[in-house]
Amino acid sequence: MDHEGEAKRTDLMTITRFVLNEQSKYPESRGDFTILLNHIVLGCKYVCSAVNKAGLAKLLGLAGETNVQGEEQKKLDVLSNEVFVNALISSGRTCLLVSEELEEAVFVKPKQRGKYIVVFDPLDGSSNIECGVSIGTIFGIYAAKDKDKITLDDVLQPGNRMLAAGYCMYGSSCMFVISTGHGVNGFTLDPSLGEFILTHPNIKIPKKGNIYSVNEGNAKNWEKPITEYVDNCKFPQDGSSPKSLRYVGSMVADIHRTLLYGGIFMYPADKKSPDGKLRLLYEVFPMSYLMEQAGGQAFTGKGRALDLVPKKIHERSPVILGSYDDVEHVKAFYAASKANGA
Ligand code: AFP
């Protein structure tokens, strides 16, 4: 009998246990982060259950509203946003929230305030809901300098100041992936226990991958370095095998695959959208943070993604992220293009 295996199955590392273990390394810690995270996890479980029941509960379809970006809002987007706003405020550990679904930032009432700022996309990839493709929640956490004097500037900070970032993917299983600045860990929801269990400890992205992921429908408007890089993925100049193309169109699913299998994901600038499509605060920053923590890189076409300083809460940014060597390769095309004066 495999006693070691049996012991592991009966000694489960839940996400709360994991974070409490981490917390014990900092004697000055008062458990605020653990409480905040518990509320985020609760929100994810709620949304996971709602996504699973969506067809049954007739939650699919338009809610009749449009969000900040002028996109049609689905009922599940509305619900997920409410769930996370309520969970975050009721944690008593947040002072400022920025959600993809809300035009304005939410300033938490002084009586309910804590020191953390949370930026989040409650249900990313919502155009995929009706065909059952994986969707997810993305979040990033900052600390406020002074929760009693909070202003919008407190959230307009570069991504390198994030304390933690993560996502929850609602797919064939529900997976919660997080980094608190000490590597990346993945937890899978055990529906029978209602607990996220550590299944992917210390995720490291392969140094080089053989997958590229980009919306090729935008190729007509791409910048030269991206066109050249993608050409090279298909017809490698060094005689190596061509890369495979995988593109879900749901960032959480595309990034999750990239983290586990390696390769590159790109939503670059193009002539039509010089800032790309993805939102800096709650898409680009959290995913770039995770990528770096897993040993990869995140680049905008000009510099390190996490060093950008946002000017607006719903700002967009190009992003090219994934395996270290693959991002280096893209950087080389940008450098060559710059050297040629393009
Ligand atoms: P939706 O939430 O509208 O489905 O957008 C998803 C998303 O923001 C991100 O999750 C995808 O990576 C990206 O957009 C896909 O964009 P394209 O459809 O333009 O490829």
* Overall number of domains in the chain: 2
Nearest alpha-carbon partner for 200 in 159, 257, 279: 257
Q: What is the mean pLDDT of residues 119-135?
A: 91
Query: Which tokens in the block code for residue 202?
Result: 């210390």
Q: What is the pLDDT of residues 139-167, one digit of tens each?
A: 999 999 998 899 999 999 999 999 999 99
Q: Are 279 and 222 in contact (CB under 8 A)?
A: no
Strands 94-99 and 116-124: parallel
**142: in domain:** yes
Is residue 186 located within the same domain as residue 219? no
- Closest ligand 1 atom to residue 215 Cα is 20
Residue for token pair 């967009």 = 316
Mean pLDDT of 200-214: 98
pTM summary value:
0.93
DSSP-derived secondary structure letter, 57: T
26 CA → ligand 1 middle, Å: 38
Report CA dihedral (147, 153, 157, 161) to the nearest 10 degrees.
Answer: -20
My answer on whether 147 and 81 are in the same domain is: yes
Q: Which residue range(s) make up the domain with 122?
A: 15-202
Choose one of 144, 176, 202: the last residue of a domain: 202
From ligand 1's centre to the CA of 189, what distance in Å? 25
Q: Are residues 109 and 197 in the same domain?
A: yes
Q: What percent of the chain has pLDDT over 90?
A: 78
The per-residue pLDDT for 56 is 64
Per-residue model confidence as pLDDT tens digits over 4-59: 555 567 789 999 899 888 877 776 778 899 999 999 999 999 999 988 887 666 66
Is 1 a domain residue?
no
- Quickly count: other Cβ atoms within 10 Å of residue 59's Cβ: 17
Q: Please, what is the Cα angle at 96 between 155 and 311, to 5 degrees?
A: 25
3-state secondary structure 48-92: HHHHHHCCCCCCCCEEEEECCCCCEEEHHHHHHHHHHHHHHHHCC
SS3 category, 230 = helix
Domain boundary among 156, 179, 202: 202
Domain boundary among 172, 202, 232: 202
pLDDT digits (tens, 9 = 90+) for 80-90: 999 999 999 99
Same-domain pairing of 285 and 248:
yes
Q: Ligand 1: which residue has its CA nearest to atom 18?
A: 249
The CATH number of whichever domain residue 334 belongs to comes to 3.40.190.80
CA 205 to ligand 1 center in whole angstroms: 23
Residue 67, domain CATH: 3.30.540.10
